[in-house]
Amino acid sequence: VESRCSSLEQYFLFVYGYWFGWALMCMMTVVLKWCLIGRIRPGDEHGNTSMFLARRWIFHRSLDLIAQNFLQFFTSTAMVPAWHRLLGAFVSQGANINGVLGIPDPDRVTVGAGAFISGATINCSTRGKTTTKFSPTEISAGCSIGNFAVLAPDSTLEQGSEVGACTHTSGFLSGGILG
């Protein structure tokens, strides 16, 4: 059987098909977020066995798949803040987010201009015995967060604050250096 495509054409079809497929998955993840979950408001509380948390789990599995297999190629580019904006985060111009998995509930996060987040985890939910409560996390302009740092729910970093690598913070940090 004779092939109608040259090997170069087959290569380009494979490469463009690969990128198109992942771009389609990204769009589906954004649609899942807004159709299944919607915007999470501060102070929202849901039972640990609720359908909301089941829908949130489905969204998180889709988000993990995209982040681990596709968006890792775009680390430290303008695409990462744009990705978080599509998912509902308030990310100012000039903010640099170096890592995709670190914001599980993006619509509860505010990132100021010139902030730098490097592979940190920013939590916005607290799971109790019977309910899960969602709280905002605010990172003001000029803040810097190191690798593997963890911000607890309801954290606020004032302008110029620095959170070092492998540091856990909760509450309020006023322009100082932690870690």
Query: Angle, nearest 10°, between helix axes 51-69 and 7-32?
Result: 150
pLDDT of residue 16: 79
DSSP assignment of the chain, as one string?
A: ---SS-HHHHHHHHHHHHHHHHHHHHHHHHHHIIIII-PPPTT-EEETTSHHHHHHHHHHHHHHHHHHHTGGGGTTSTHHHHHHHHTT-EE-TT-EEE-STT-SSGGGEEE-TT-EEES-EE--EEE-SSEEEE--EEE-TT-EE-TT-EEPTT-EE-TT-EE-TT-EE-SEE-S-EE-
Q: What is the pLDDT along the chain (179 residues), one digit of tens a residue?
A: 566 767 777 777 777 777 888 888 889 999 999 999 999 988 889 999 999 999 999 999 988 888 878 877 888 888 888 889 999 999 999 999 887 567 888 889 999 999 999 888 888 888 899 999 999 999 999 999 988 898 988 889 999 899 988 888 877 777 667 76
Distance in angstroms (rounded) separating the CA atoms of residues 90 and 50: 27
pLDDT of residue 176: 66
Q: Report pTM.
A: 0.83
